[in-house]
Each structure stands twice: as C-alpha cells, then as structure tokens.
Chain A
C-alpha cells in the first residue's frame, strides 16, 4: 500500500465538474479529491467519464462548470502544456514521447543543456542517465526511445514529467501493455514518488492491481460520481457493484422460458482456442437457436474473444470447427465465408457508413460476399432493403435515407439487417444496446430472442448484466483475459455473474499477499 503523508491536505480538488458534448452529458457534477502522497485509483466502465474527467482537469477539453484547485489555488489550464507547467502531468497508455529521438533527447527536449548554441550531448546524456538511475533504470540513453519496451518508455515519460516538477501525476492505463515484472517495476516507482509527496491518479481496469497499489478509489458511472472509498475497507464485490451499478438482491425474472428448450446441434465450436497475450485458450460451443452471453469487466477479454471467433484476429493455437468440420479463421473474409457476422461495438467508426442510404448499408455485406462481378440489381436491392426495414421495424421506413440521420437504435438495426441479409449461421454482437435509448433497447433484446428462435446462433457481449441474464441460454464469464466460468440454466443470475467476476480475484489477491 502507498503512504499517505498528510491525509488532511487535499493536493488536487475537483468540485462540481460538468461537461457535455452536444446533447451527450459526459460528466455531471463530478467531485474528485487527491491528497499529497497518495495513490488514488479512478475506476469505471467504458463511457463512465474517466477520460473526460482527466482531459477536463488537464485542460484538453474546456469545462462547462465546476472548479479545479491545485494546492488550494484555482487553476484553469487551457492546454496539456499549461497543465504541465502548473504541475499536473499525464502519462497516457500510448506513450506521448517521440520514438525516433534518443532517450536523452526525449527527457530534455526543448531544455537541453547548451553551450554557445550547441547542445551539450555528453552532459545531456550524463544527466539523463542520472535521472533514470533514480527510477532504477540503467539503459543506453543515446539509443532511440522506440528501441525500448513500452515499460521503459512509460518510465521515461514518468521521469520527464517528474523532472518537470510535477506535483500531480496522472497515469492513464499505464499497465495495459506491461507484463507482470514490468508492472512490479512501475509500482515500485509509483510508491517512491508517492513517498516524495506526489499525488498519483491511477486509471486502470485491472482490479488486482488497483487493490495492490491504491490507497483510495473513486468510481464513476455514466458520467456521475458513484463514490469515493478507502480501499482497505472496500470488499471487491462491493467495488464491482459500484462499477456495474447492480444490486445483488435484484435477480432475474423474464428468462424462465429461454432455458427450457431442448439442446440443439452445435453450430461452431472452439477447442483450446486462443492467442498469446490476447486471450487465454478457451473452449466454447455455440449451438443453433441459442444465445451465449459474454460477461466481464472492461478489458476482461470479451471483445477479444469475439474478434477471435469472427476471424478479425488470428488465433495462434487451438481448433475451430463449423458444423463439425475443422476450419481456419485467418481473416474477417474467412468468418464471412463460413456464415459468421460481427457487429462491432464502435458503430460509428467500424460499422455503418453514415453517408450511404439505409438500402446501401443493408446490401453491403451481401454484395461483398457475392463478389464484385455479380452485382445485385437495383430491384433486388430494393426488395432486400424493404424486407429488412419491415422485419426489423426500422424507422423511418425510408430505404433511401442516409443512415447517419437515423437514431442510434435504428442504426443498430441497419447493422443487424446487413448481416442478416447474408443469411448467417452465427452472429456476434458487441454491446448491441450501447448508446441506445430505453425503448429501442427493449426492441433490440426482443429481436435477439426472435432471431435465436429462428435457429440463428448468437454470441452477445454486454456490460448490462440484467440484459445478458434476460436473453442468454448460457453465460461465459471472463476475467483478466481468460474464461473463468460458464453458467447455464438456473445458475444464470446477476449475483452469480458478479460472484464469478469477483471471486477468483480475491483468491489471487490473497495469494499475492502471502
């Protein structure tokens, strides 16, 4: 655990911060307090507002309301550079240094030791060496930064920030691409810095690491503050509940019918399937007429599993079978060829083509599957467009309207229609209800059930546990990039899923402390 120096004095105080992007309220009246010498974890699922909060505090985004105080004085940096000179430094997951320059140049860019207008290269390297030695690093500082591992690049970025007299150090997902040993090094450095009185904000979705290093945590959800707690008095399951916003008592209702159908034949199966440092090998069977839910926290390997199944990412071990026959899934094309469809989470960037019409978006995948030399006639396109607009109740029912003008829920339906038009056997949906209003939400869920009743096999990722519980025949729970539990039938309820997400990690945490 880190060392609180003077728990009474807040180093950084954030009060009542609000921020909207257009109609979307990214932050609403959020408070955050960082003490000198503490390591404070900032947690929340995707879209909770962590990044927005950091960017507002460091002046990357202007704020709509609220105040930021550093050491008791109001600050309002207008840029990351201004925040840095005020004493707030941020080190992002993708290191903001220059890989083409030497380590020494990166540490001293724009403030190199000079003599007669010439950079004193030797002196600069000596100082760089000394600075990094403070962080337990002994490397050739004349080599380009890009030659070194991400861990060393992170430490270099931290060293630069600290040397620029940072009092607040924000580390945004610093451990995401580090191995265990590198994480140890980083944690040791974080504890050292905390001892020197620097306040550290640690953003991470690795709960084990949060418990290992943090003094206190603040949880955000949907742009609001959920709470601020001492880590020592916060059971893990309570933390997960804060992040996912579900009460254990609140269990299932509408799912009875789903689980009582007879088992169907296997549509696709994956044996010992996985990819090194991506997802641990897993076994997964997907049956016709069945919905399999993937549950877990952000970064637990849900999307990674989906991408492996579809072929968007190549597995380096294991065997995939479609209808019992062994297949190789090397690319999304392979996935499409075997009758798979994939609706990614980022609808706007990875899914719809906003400028094209509803009809054009719907026929896109089908046309791609047929090949360019067999174009769909306009009459066929019109017919397909009309059929799916009717079937999925896309509104307004105008096939010639650009998709960008539709609501989120209807865009999602157009994406669904695009894959349905290819008559797939398996459809992978990543967060199908994200960013959709409540009414459309229920409709998408109803559609998922209907498609499944028609014999389609579905693999659905969602952060909404209630939702997963409603439509899934089986639920696979993931944690730390591994499949840790598979729930079926009566065992599927929010409480069991939460327990599976939390349980194992408690054991691991205990192990780490003995």
Chain B
C-alpha cells in the first residue's frame, strides 16, 4: 500500500517510545493515561486528518488553527449571549467553516495561487474575525457541555474514553476509509502526483481542490467545537500554532510534504507520538513543557531526512523487474 514503509517506521517509533516511557514510569502503561492522551489531543487529531488530505493533494492549510479559535469564540457567543440552541450553533459554524474552506479552495484554483499564501491570508482573516467577536475568554455554561464532558466509556483498568476522544476516533476511521477506498481519495493522491497530469487524465481538478479545502476547514470547525467542549470556553487566542502541530503530525506520520503519498493512520500515529512526548514530560515533572516542541522538532527533522532518503531511493532508474511475455 501507498506510504506503508514510512508508516511502519512511525509505528515502531511510537511503540519503542511508549515502551521506554513505561520502563521509566510504569504508570504510563495504563488505560487511564492513554484515555487522557486521546482526550487531550482530540482536536489535534481531527484537524490533522483534514491536513492529511490537503498535504497529500500537494497543498497546505495554514488557516486551521485560526478556524478553531474562531469556532470556539463564535460558539460561546452565540450560545451564551444570544441564547441560540447549541446544536443550531454547531450546525451554523460547520456550514460557515465549510464555506470558508470552499472559498479558499476556489481562490487557489481560479487564480492559480500558491495554497501557502491563500491559507496564510485565511489564517489572518479567521484570527482577526475572532478578535472582532470578542477579545476575552467567554465561559460556556450550557447544560449540553457538562453532559458531554461527563460522558465517557469505561475502559478496563479505570481509563475513560471520553465523548470527544470517540468523536476523534470516528473521524480518523472515517477519514481513512474516505482516503483509501473511494474515488475521491484516489483523486486526492492523483492531484498530489501532478495537477496537470491528473487534469489530463480526466480528474476535475478545480472541484477537487475546493472539496479538499472544504473538508479541511469543516474538520477544523469540528475540532473547534471539540476544543470548546474540552475547555468549556471560547477564546480568540485558543489553538494558536495548531496548524503547525498538525503539519508536524502529518509529516511524522509518513506523508510526503510534497504530496502524492501518505495515510490517515500514519497521521493518527503522529498525533499519538506528540501526545506521548507531552505525557512523558508531565510525568517527569521537572522538564519544561517546551521540551515537547524541541522533541517534536527533532522527530520532524528525522522524518523529513528519512523521506528525502526514500525519495532519492525511489528516483533510481528501472527498479522492478516485470514479467513480459514476448
């Protein structure tokens, strides 16, 4: 399958890392810690799925962190100040964020602009808009928030699989199915291989670009709702830099930053690796939490170097021998 070897390496890094942590702090190897890890990184896991689609298609989406921030503020204000029912607020923000992504995709395609610039503009736009709504943290007290926060599946060993962790897992599985089993997924890989060639082969490149950025923003909207459940508040400065964390998770998960190869499962493993490093630092207690960033940086560098190596290997001429009946 596409991208399997890098994914295997990611999986091995995760297993070895987890084993090393467990040797030092035996308590880490419990469903309780794992459950918390999934809960703490639920929003990151959700945006990273969208980012995987974008990056495999050869693009990048820098706006997702800001979309999360905007979503939390929007949801908090609409529910708390205007008294709109939470479900209606959720629906509204999802439509809004999907439209935002579709607009970015359309601009990228129609004006043939680099996704980096367009989504950078989107990033400033969404962040600025959330400051316009409110510069202060708005607590959310709606009953649905405590209900959702209290809901959890008990795991053997006392761990809790929370609602937001379940949402993340469902999205990861759904994303994996969409990417690997559907025509849409195949077209995402095709775009990442070469836009020109894909278009020559009949792929509707414009529609695909719009749909891909729409998906990414929609997932960022869902991640924003999840983030508001996680913090029970809306704050315009929340999720700053999450776009970079999610890009890191995607790359550590074995997806080529240049597009064309990668997997959702790899991205999920990449999220878990970042969560694992964070957990280790919490357990240690003496390390600054910024060590998470340093460790992530080192891993990122290692994976990009590895990918370059694999790409160089793949560029060698004529490799596979073929049975040719003549």
Contact = CB atoms under 8 A, between A and B. Distances in A.
Given A101-B189, A185-B324, A80 B183 contact: no
B197 A98 contact: yes
Interface in A53-109: 80-81, 84, 96-102, 105-106, 109
Nearest to B191: A98
B188 to A, nearest CB: 11
Given A97-B197, A143-B320, A110 B203 contact: yes
Interface residues of B, number: 29
Nearest to B177: A118
Contacts of B199: 81
Nearest to B198: A98
A188 B187 CA distance: 33
A117 interface: yes
A147 to B, nearest CB: 4
Contact of B202 (A109, A146, A181, A185): A109
Given A80-B200, A96-B197, A101 B323 contact: no
B318 interface: yes
Contact of A98 (B193, B319, B326): B193
A152 interface: yes
A244 B160 CA distance: 81
A109 B190 contact: yes
A152 B192 CA distance: 22
Nearest to A112: B183
Interface in B166-207: 181-183, 186-187, 189-190, 192-194, 197-203
Interface residues of A, number: 39
Interface string B298-319: 0000000000000000100011
A78 B197 CA distance: 16
Contact of A109 (B201, B320, B322): B201
Interface in B39-73: none
Contacts of A96: 197, 200-201
Contact of B186 (A112, A136, A144): A112
A160 B197 CA distance: 13
A248 to B, nearest CB: 41
B202 A111 contact: yes
Interface in B2-18: 2
A100 B325 contact: no
Contact of B183 (A98, A99, A110): A110
B260 interface: yes
Given A101-B193, A147-B320, A150-B318, A136 B325 contact: yes
Given A97-B201, A99-B193, A137-B322, A146 B314 contact: yes
Contact of B192 (A100, A143, A185): A100
A70 to B, nearest CB: 19
B318 A119 contact: no
A110 B324 contact: no
B279 interface: no
A138 B319 contact: no
B197 A117 contact: no
B238 interface: no
Given A98-B201, A100-B193, A109 B181 contact: no
A181 B183 CA distance: 36
Contacts of A152: 322, 324
Contact of A119 (B182, B190, B201, B319): B182
A81 B190 CA distance: 16
Nearest to A114: B183
B246 interface: no
A136 B324 contact: yes
A278 interface: no
A81 B198 contact: no
B261 interface: yes
Contacts of A99: 193
Contacts of B319: 147-148
A20 interface: no
A9 interface: no
7 contacts: A98-B193, A100-B192, A101-B190, A101-B193, A109-B198, A112-B186, A138-B322
Given A136-B326, A137-B325, 19 more contacts: A81-B199, A81-B200, A84-B200, A96-B197, A98-B189, A100-B2, A100-B261, A101-B186, A102-B2, A105-B189, A109-B187, A109-B201, A109-B203, A110-B201, A121-B181, A138-B322, A138-B323, A139-B320, A148-B322
Interface of A: 80-81, 84, 96-102, 105-106, 109-112, 114, 117-119, 121, 136-140, 143-144, 146-150, 152, 160, 181, 184-185, 188
Nearest 8 pairs of A and B residues by beta carbon: A98-B193, A100-B260, A147-B320, A138-B323, A149-B318, A110-B202, A100-B193, A139-B322
